[in-house]
Structures are given as C-alpha cells and as structure tokens.
Amino acid sequence: MRQEYYEQLDAISDDLVHLTRLVGSAMNLATQSLLDANLQLAESVIAADTEVDSVAAEVEAKCSEVIALQAPVATDLRIVVGALRISASLERMGDLAEHVAKQARMRYPHVAIPTELRATFAEMGGIAEVIVSKTGAVISTKDVALSADIAAHDEQMDRLHRELFTIVLSPSWSHGVEAAIDVTLLSRYYERFADHAVSVTRRVVNIVTGEPYVAVSLDDQQL
Amino acid sequence: MRQEYYEQLDAISDDLVHLTRLVGSAMNLATQSLLDANLQLAESVIAADTEVDSVAAEVEAKCSEVIALQAPVATDLRIVVGALRISASLERMGDLAEHVAKQARMRYPHVAIPTELRATFAEMGGIAEVIVSKTGAVISTKDVALSADIAAHDEQMDRLHRELFTIVLSPSWSHGVEAAIDVTLLSRYYERFADHAVSVTRRVVNIVTGEPYVAVSLDDQQL
C-alpha cells in the first residue's frame, strides 16, 4: 500500500516533468515558426497543445485519486495540492506557445515581426527554453537552489520585454500599428511564459520547505 | 464530525463567492478609474488586490485541511479540487482588474483611451460586472443553467474585443501606436476576465454533474 502510494506520487512528478518538456518543445518550435514564417511548424505546435491539455488532465485525475485513496498529509499533501497548481501553470504555458504559433500562422507567408527584432525574439525564445528546462529540473530533483537561476532568467525576459516596448513606441518605429501590436502581444506571451515558470518554481519551494507559497507579481506592466 | 465537515465545505464555497464579489468590485472600480482618469480610485483597486490574494490563499488552506482531515471522495472531492482551481482563476481575475487600474494610473492625468472608445470600454466593464456576478450565483446556488447566460456574455465580450482590434487597425485610426497598444492590452484584460469566468463556471458544472471539465479555449487571438 505504501509502496503503491509513493509510486503514485512519483508518477505525478514524472507527469509534471513531462509537461515541462512538452511546453518547452512547443515554445521552441513556436519561436522557430515565428522567425521563419514556417506555417507547417506553426500548425504542428497548435495541434500538439491537446497533448499538453490531456497530460494536465491526467495529473488532476491522479491527484484526485491520491487524495481519495491515500489521505495525504504534511509534505505529501503539499505535493498533491502543489501539483494541481503546477499543472495549471504548465497548461497555460502550453497555451502561450500556441498563441505564438497562431500569430506566426496569422501573418503567413509574411514574418510577423520586423527583421530588426528577430534577434530579440530569438533571445526570448532561448530564455524560454532554458527557463522551462530548469523548471523541469527543479521539479525532478527538488533542488530549490535552481530557483535563483530561474528568477535571473525571468529578469532577463522582463528586460527584453521592456526593450521591445521602448522600440515600438520610439518615433523611429516605421512598421505601423499592426506590427506594433503583434510585437507587443508576442512579447507579452514570452514574458508570461517566464512568469509561470517562476510561479511553478515557487510552488516547488513551498512543497520542499513548507514555507508559504509567495504569489508571483505576475506581468506588472512595464509600459 | 460530519456536521463540521459540511460546514468546512460551505465555508470554502462562501469564500469563493466572496472572491467573485471582490474581483467584480475591483473590475468595476478599475473601469471607472480608466474612464475618468481617477488616480485615487486606481490606487485603491491596486491596493485592494492583496485582499483577493489572501482570500485565495485561505481557500487553499481550507481545502488542504479538508483533504487532510476528512479524506473527501466523489462529489466532495470534486468540490475541493475544483475550489483550488476556481480560486486560482478568481485570483487571476483580480490581477486583471489590477492591470486595468495600473493602465489608468500610468496615463494619469490623461485618460488612457480615446474618447470615441469610452462607450465600448464602459460596455466591457458592464459585461465584466454581470458575468462575475452570475459566476458568484452559479457557485452559491449550483444552478448550472446559468452557464448558458455566462457563455453568451463571454461571446458579447469577444465581439467587442474583435471590434476594438478592427478600430485600432483601421486606416482612420489617428491616435498613434501608444494608444493602439493601450487599447489592445486593456481589451485583452477584459476578454481574459470573461474567459476565466467561463472557466470557473465549467468547473462548477463538473462539480455538480461529475461530467469532465472542458478546458476553455482561452483567448484565441481574433486579430
């Protein structure tokens, strides 16, 4: 019975790590589809989001089962309650990757972002990949020391997000309103993606240490 | 013991209804602060969000307690797991009201939106108020028939959101890039607010009927 119990908790943790890989890959491919105006890639990201949703639903089912059958307390209870919140965040990160891909699809065959901003979006995509990969590592290893790294990556993302606002609002912006809106929304998707990663990490810290979960001051507008 | 148990479940439900009132009031005042460029009102909305966060944290604590002490199953288990998700959605709705207030504050003493869009934002604020009030009614009465109403309000909101995109992207838009971005982001906050209300309602349907929760296809870009 106890053995089975710990296997169930491990299975939940494995599913969460699996979700970080799915949404990391989704954001990575979405960025590529954006930079290359690659319609097929964008479509594949959009189609793949159902898998994220179904793994997230499975986490919820497993958590409910553990609650009903095992009556978890203390750390185990924090794991289960935390997993419910973490899977919701990861599901949302998958949605954000999907939004990037939809933006790429909407502007196809054109590239949705001006050439001079390619490097910035490539960098945001790179940070998204690193941050979600480290988030997976935090979940699997419970090494909460990594959370400082993740916060630093989130700050990098915020800085790029602010830079993009400055660029689209500068008098030298020559791409018009539509491109400015595209850039703003896309930039926001990346920034929110990183915010959710921070939120997941804080949940893991709460699970491991028992310290209260500190809500992320999500996406304070920098504009 | 049983008596106490049902009191605990009722207390969770009461907290959720209380949260709908808090975020409804927050969005209402935020809309007013936006339309009137009322700095004091905006500040009060921003300050009040900590109460939303703390009630949401209390819901989580109460749910954890019920899980640990009462080992809920079947409908009761769905209530507790659902409440964890519902409180997260309501907390996020509070954040969105706060974002609207921050946008009002940022542009103070100017009004953040052009005069000709006042009526549209007033209408969005009105829909937000109605939708969150009905969401509270669904939670307290478990009358899931209201969910059709809520879906209809969400459609109204989506329609206004699309209209605003059309307006800022039309050749006759004369307010420049910054105002276009402000309008886009603000419109998105209202649209997401309504999406979360729909998501909460679907959770209640899941709790009441036991039918699987259907994820809201959140904020598909209409642009």
pLDDT digits (tens, 9 = 90+) for B155-203: 999 999 999 999 999 999 999 999 999 999 999 999 999 999 999 999 9
**Interface-testing mutation among A81, A170, A217, with chain B (most B C-beta atoms within 10 A):** A81
Closest by alpha carbon to A151, among A109, A120, A197?
Answer: A197
| Identity of the amino acid at A56 | A
User: How high is the mean pLDDT in each 10-residue block of chain A (223 residues)?
Assistant: 86 98 98 98 98 96 93 92 96 98 97 96 98 97 93 98 97 96 97 97 92 64 38
Kindly tell me the sign of the dihedral angle through the C-alpha atoms of A53, A221, B190, B208.
positive
- Listed in sequence order, the residues at least 6 apart from A32 whose beta carbon sits closer than 8 Å to its beta carbon are A38, A41, A125
Using a cut of 0.90, tell me whether the model's pTM lies above it.
yes
- Whether the per-residue pLDDT at B1 is higher than 80: the answer is no
pLDDT at B213: 77
Strands (E), B66-211: none
Give the model's confidence band at B210: pLDDT under 50 very low, under 70 low, under 90 confident, else very high: confident
Q: What is the separation of C-alpha B89 from the centre of its chain, rounded to a whole number of angstroms?
A: 7
Kindly tell me the sign of the dihedral angle through the C-alpha atoms of B53, B57, B62, B64.
positive
Radius of gyration of chain A (CA): 19
- Whether the per-residue pLDDT at B221 is higher than 60: the answer is no
pLDDT at B216: 65
Q: Which residues of A117-150 are buried (b: 16+ CB within 10 A; e: fewer)?
A: beebbebbbebbbbbbebbbbbbeeeebebbeeb
Name which of B68, B218, B221 is nearest A106 (Cβ-Cβ): B221
Name which of B71, B81, B169 is nearest A84 (Cβ-Cβ): B81
Contact between residue B84 and residue B63 where contact means Cβ atoms under 8 Å apart: yes
pLDDT digits (tens, 9 = 90+) for B29-71: 999 999 999 999 999 999 999 999 999 999 999 999 999 988 8
Give the model's confidence band at B222: pLDDT under 50 very low, under 70 low, under 90 confident, else very high: very low
Name which of A95, A181, A220 is nearest B180 (Cβ-Cβ): A181
Name which of B181, B218, B219 is nearest A184 (Cβ-Cβ): B181
- Number of neighbours of residue A93 by Cβ within 10 angstroms: 31
pLDDT at B217: 57
Residues in A lying within 8 Å of B, measured between beta carbons: 53, 57, 60, 63-64, 67-68, 71-73, 77-78, 80-81, 84-85, 88, 91-92, 95, 99, 102-103, 106, 168-169, 173, 176-178, 180-182, 184-185, 188, 212-213, 215, 218-221, 223
Cβ of B180 within 8 Å of Cβ of A185? The answer is no
pLDDT at A71: 87
pLDDT at B32: 98
pLDDT digits (tens, 9 = 90+) for B106-125: 999 999 999 999 999 999 99
Tell me the helix, strand and coil percentages in chain A, rounded to 5: 85, 0, 15
Average pLDDT, rounded, for chain B: 93
pLDDT at A120: 98
Closest by alpha carbon to A181, among B110, B169, B103, B191?
Answer: B169
Phi then psi for residue B161, to 5 deg, are: -60, -45
Q: How is residue B46 written in tokens? A: 């921003």
| Identity of the amino acid at B176 | G
Give whole-number Cα distances, B16 to B54, B85, B212, in Å. 12, 11, 21
Q: Is residue B220 packed enough to be buried (19+ CB in 10 Å), middle (13-18) or exposed (0-12)?
A: middle
How far apart (Å, rounded) are the C-alpha atoms in residues A152 and A175? 32
- Listed in sequence order, the residues at least 6 apart from B127 whose beta carbon sits closer than 8 Å to its beta carbon are B153, B156, B157, B160, B190, B194
Phi then psi for residue B189, to 5 deg, are: -60, -45
Give the model's confidence band at B24: pLDDT under 50 very low, under 70 low, under 90 confident, else very high: very high
Chain B residues with CB-CB distance to A73 below 8 A: 68
- Listed in sequence order, the residues at least 6 apart from B108 whose beta carbon sits closer than 8 Å to its beta carbon are B37, B39, B42
Domains of chain A: 2-209 (1.20.58.220)
Tell me the helix, strand and coil percentages in chain B, rounded to 5: 85, 0, 15
